[in-house]
Chain A
Amino acid sequence: MNLASPRSVNLQLLIGGIVVAIYALGFGTGYTQRVLSVAGIYALMAIGYQFIFGYAGAIALSQGAFMGLGAYVSGILSVRYGIGFDASLPFSLGLPLLVAFIVAVPVLRLQTHYFALATLIISQIILLIAIQWVDMTGGANGIGGIHPLSLLGWNVPPGQATLILIWSVVALGAAAAWQFGRGSLGQAYALMRVNSVAAASIGIDTARLRLIAFLLSSAYAGLAGAFYVHAIRVISPDVLELPVMVTCLTIAVVGGRTRTAGIVTAAVLIIELPEWFRFMQKYYLIAYGAILLLVVIAAPEGLVEAWQRILTRLRPARVAAPSRIAPIAVSWGHAAGRGDVAESPLLSLTEIRRHFGGVRALDGVSFDVAAGEILGLIGPNGSGKTTLVNIVSGIYRPDAGRVRFGGADITPLSPYEIARLGIARTFQTVALVDAMSALDNVAVARGSGRLSLRQTFSVGIDDAHLARRRGEAMGFLDLMGVADDAARPCGALAYGLRRRVEVARALATEPRLLLLDEPATGLNQSEQEDFARRMAAIVRARCTLLVIEHNIPFLNAFVDRLVCLDYGRVIAQGDVASVQRDARVIEAYLGRGVVP
């Protein structure tokens, strides 16, 4: 295998790990083994942190607090009630999970800095309660004499046995994290990080994904805490203080936010650092700060990623010709052929109004889109076209008016709900995950409604679900004429191809209505013509199309009707020829005084 591939790097890390293990178990002193045990505990906590920090992309400052909660629960149950490590596990995991769940719902929807602040405050509150509630927690002094690790009655002796136990659990936890990120779920998170609106637009419930990530993080932290308190046999508020969170954050940033092998390596390195450099014992936190700073500036994706990049430069990978995936045909789940007589319009907008600040973006817009038709929405810059599409797809609520889809009122629904009802869209700026292949970008849309932990953990090495989704995705890439580039990462594709991949992704949700937001932008003449031809052919057979454009010649080739907006109002609608000749439309575009 190529030296610079992820597999190879992981193997290098694994070999390094085995060497360390042999050393520690064979030649290490009790002290060495204890330090490595602590490293394992931090590794566990940091792997857990990956879920909220890496996958969901949110800077949470609560991981240390959750670990502390797990530690306190396990420690108190041990000392005061004689409940051993294993029996208290449901509680040492349960309390962090419960707290995470309670705070998650309101806190997770906050933006970056508010979310970080809220988690920090929660951590502070937990710390202060631990100090204050002396009767339960021993206050600032804590509680000592906690029983060692015990497993089904067997007291795990410190040293080798504890080390092996902890690292076995780390291995399991790492495997679970790896499995989590491997398939459709990991891809969905990747899209959510790039652009959560785009993720919602293909039916991904981003709030639920964030919640899952946050809960998993807290569970791992709780488990790490339980191990911690039985390994060091004492519990005190120190475990809830900021340095623990800082260490966790440093490990996550150094290791790479979604790179599990990197995190494990980083944990060992970071915890061992003060041991190797004796003089640093007192100043090790300064070193952490300096490392964190350097890594964030020079190697933002983590040291392991940086190492991989160095290797790639030394030994560039030969690009193997990817094996072509056979497209799996998808029969769209609804009938919307042009022959259908529409009883009621597919989409109906009634008196939509919306203002921003003092500006009235939409001022009473009403029109219908019939099933199977191709409607062009035109108007000069600032006429309200994009605002309207954002309202239809659920990103904005209108101030007044109703949006009806297939007769049902969809005005109050959120974007992912609307997507699941069958409205898909594209955006003015293409929102794809650059690091993922075109195929995978489209495959995400094939399972967006069925993402679950159960499915994620029930697949084997050959992920049958992912394979099927990829096959189906291939079909959609074919429709848009980008099948040849399916295996290439989207970041390497030219703009016109990226556009088409994005449309393929929208089509992959089998929509009844497709909204295209200024698709001609950035395409040259021949690309525009090809696009128009393609859309006409696909859409006529499968779904209804609403295209926003200001480029009328482009639309000319394939739309049935036009609706023209100006200053937030409909000023003309009808067939293409008559709208083009309409004096008000001409005036809106060119200004007064043009002879028609």
Chain B
Amino acid sequence: MTAVLLDIENAVIRYGDITAVNGVGLSVAAGEAVALLGANGAGKSTLMKAIIGLLPLSSGRIALAGEDIGRLRPDQRYRLGIGYCPEGRRVFPGLSVWENLAVASWDAAALRSSRIDEIFAVFPVLAERRASPAWQLSGGQQQMLAIGRALMNRPRLLLLDEPSLGLSPRLTDEVLSRIPTIAAGGTAIILAEQNVVKALQICRRATVLKIGTVAQSGPAGELADSPEMKAAFLGG
């Protein structure tokens, strides 16, 4: 039985006025890919932000490899091994591609260089534009840069928040197709997506959020066929 890497118990998160997450539990095993599904406003992004520490838990517990990380700052959590790729990419616009990757590295210079080369091997298009300022990149390229940046520190857990947002179907395929490779390397992944079909193809398990609570949870194959899934999104 694989060890539990991330364990969230009864998370309640208040964001501004709203209780965006209301008693959600989630656990991810080492090396496992889990899909986090739900309509907009269901609480996916809020939950991701709480895992990396950009939002505090109002109550509940988050543990990484058994240790409670609720009090840690985002930069501390990153260095413990959580990589975060936010909704909307948010690459550092004035830094070049190479600098965006370098800035996320906490290795010595030589190791940093070789790690960047490894990332370039996964995303060759970034290597071609290594000196371009990030704001000049297209949406798809920025998305790949954001994922690469999150991987720089060899995280144990990678959080991907809606990587397909704003991307054409072809680009979505291109970006999401890299994910199994990353997972194969041993990194656990939480993929929050509105694109249900793709997410269920890539991940082994899925949790569906609805207005801040868990509506369904289970193996990807089962969820893919369920009529409740469609109803939750389209009301039909």
Binding site for B on A (CB under 8 A): 359, 380-382, 429-430, 495, 498, 518, 520-522, 524-525, 550-556, 577, 580-581, 585-586, 589-594
Q: Mark B182-212, 1 if CB is under 8 A from A, else 0.
A: 0000000000001111100000000000010
Taking a contact as CB atoms under 8 Å apart, the answer to whether A552 and B233 are in contact is yes
Q: Least Cβ distance of A143 to chain B in Å?
A: 54
- Kindly identify which residue among B18, B162, B236 contacts A522, using a CB–CB cutoff of 8 Å: B18
Q: Residues of A contacting B40 with CB < 8 Å?
A: 380-381, 550-551
Taking a contact as CB atoms under 8 Å apart, the answer to whether B169 and A381 are in contact is no
Taking a contact as CB atoms under 8 Å apart, the answer to whether A552 and B235 are in contact is yes
Q: Least Cβ distance of A380 to chain B in Å?
A: 6
Taking a contact as CB atoms under 8 Å apart, the answer to whether B234 and A591 are in contact is no
Q: Residues of A contacting B198 with CB < 8 Å?
A: 591
Of all chain A residues, which has the CB nearest B225? A595
Taking a contact as CB atoms under 8 Å apart, the answer to whether B197 and A495 are in contact is no
Q: Residues of B contacting A518 with CB < 8 Å?
A: 41
Considering the chains assembled together, what is the distance between the CA atoms of A495 and B41 in angstroms? 15
Q: Mark B81-115, 1 if CB is under 8 A from A, else 0.
A: 00000000000000000000000000000000000
Q: Residues of B contacting A380 with CB < 8 Å?
A: 40, 194
Taking a contact as CB atoms under 8 Å apart, the answer to whether A381 and B162 are in contact is yes
Q: Least Cβ distance of B170 to chain A in Å?
A: 11
Residues facing A in B212-236 (CB within 8 A) are 230-236
Taking a contact as CB atoms under 8 Å apart, the answer to whether A495 and B234 are in contact is no
Taking a contact as CB atoms under 8 Å apart, the answer to whether B17 and A589 are in contact is no
Q: Most chain-B CB neighbours within 10 Å: which of A380, A554, A591? A: A591
Q: Residues of A contacting B231 with CB < 8 Å?
A: 553
Q: Least Cβ distance of B124 to chain A in Å?
A: 23
Taking a contact as CB atoms under 8 Å apart, the answer to whether B236 and A589 are in contact is no
Q: Residues of A contacting B80 with CB < 8 Å?
A: none
Residues facing A in B146-183 (CB within 8 A) are 162, 165-166, 169, 172
Taking a contact as CB atoms under 8 Å apart, the answer to whether A586 and B39 are in contact is no
Taking a contact as CB atoms under 8 Å apart, the answer to whether B17 and A430 are in contact is yes
Q: Least Cβ distance of B17 to chain A in Å?
A: 4
Taking a contact as CB atoms under 8 Å apart, the answer to whether B233 and A580 are in contact is no
Taking a contact as CB atoms under 8 Å apart, the answer to whether B17 and A495 are in contact is yes
Of all chain B residues, which has the CB nearest A585? B234
Q: Least Cβ distance of A26 to chain B in Å?
A: 55
Q: Most chain-A CB neighbours within 10 Å: which of B16, B162, B195, B231? A: B195
Considering the chains assembled together, what is the distance between the CA atoms of A299 and B20 in angstroms? 31
Given the contacts A381-B40, A521-B41, A590 and B230 also touching, CB distance less than 8 Å? yes
Of all chain A residues, which has the CB nearest B17? A495
Taking a contact as CB atoms under 8 Å apart, the answer to whether B165 and A590 are in contact is no
Q: List 16 A-B contacts (CB under 8 A).
A: A381-B162, A381-B194, A495-B19, A518-B41, A522-B18, A550-B39, A550-B40, A553-B231, A556-B235, A580-B234, A580-B235, A590-B194, A590-B233, A591-B198, A592-B169, A594-B197
Considering the chains assembled together, what is the distance between the CA atoms of A371 and B210 in angstroms? 34
Q: Residues of A contacting B234 with CB < 8 Å?
A: 552-553, 580, 585-586, 589-590
Taking a contact as CB atoms under 8 Å apart, the answer to whether A521 and B235 are in contact is no
- Additional pairs, 10, CB under 8 Å, beyond known A522-B18, A589-B194: A382-B166, A521-B41, A550-B39, A554-B235, A577-B236, A590-B234, A591-B195, A591-B197, A593-B197, A594-B196
Q: Least Cβ distance of B136 to chain A in Å?
A: 9
Q: Least Cβ distance of A521 to chain B in Å?
A: 5
Taking a contact as CB atoms under 8 Å apart, the answer to whether A522 and B17 are in contact is yes
Considering the chains assembled together, what is the distance between the CA atoms of A524 and B162 in angstroms? 23
Given the contacts A381-B165, A589-B194, A590-B197, A522 and B233 also touching, CB distance less than 8 Å? no
Considering the chains assembled together, what is the distance between the CA atoms of A233 and B232 in angstroms? 79
Considering the chains assembled together, what is the distance between the CA atoms of A590 and B19 in angstroms? 26
Q: Residues of B contacting A554 with CB < 8 Å?
A: 235
Q: Residues of A contacting B236 with CB < 8 Å?
A: 552, 577, 580-581
Residues facing A in B6-46 (CB within 8 A) are 16-20, 39-41
Given the contacts A380-B194, A381-B162, A589 and B20 also touching, CB distance less than 8 Å? no
Considering the chains assembled together, what is the distance between the CA atoms of A552 and B198 in angstroms? 21
Q: Least Cβ distance of A465 to chain B in Å?
A: 31
Q: Residues of A contacting B196 with CB < 8 Å?
A: 590-591, 594
Given the contacts A580-B234, A590-B233, A591-B198, A382 and B41 also touching, CB distance less than 8 Å? no
Considering the chains assembled together, what is the distance between the CA atoms of A158 and B197 in angstroms? 86
Q: Residues of A contacting B18 with CB < 8 Å?
A: 495, 521-522
Considering the chains assembled together, what is the distance between the CA atoms of A219 and B178 in angstroms? 67
Taking a contact as CB atoms under 8 Å apart, the answer to whether A522 and B41 are in contact is yes
Q: Residues of B contacting A382 with CB < 8 Å?
A: 165-166
Considering the chains assembled together, what is the distance between the CA atoms of A553 and B196 in angstroms? 17
Q: Residues of B contacting A429 with CB < 8 Å?
A: 16
Considering the chains assembled together, what is the distance between the CA atoms of A498 and B16 in angstroms? 13
Q: Residues of B contacting A359 with CB < 8 Å?
A: 139, 166
Considering the chains assembled together, what is the distance between the CA atoms of A279 and B175 in angstroms? 71
Q: Least Cβ distance of B145 to chain A in Å?
A: 16
Q: Residues of B contacting A522 with CB < 8 Å?
A: 17-20, 41
Of all chain B residues, which has the CB nearest A556? B235
Of all chain A residues, which has the CB nearest B16? A429
What 8 A-B pairs have minimum CB-CB distances, sorted nearest first?
A553-B235, A522-B18, A591-B197, A591-B195, A495-B17, A580-B236, A552-B235, A593-B197
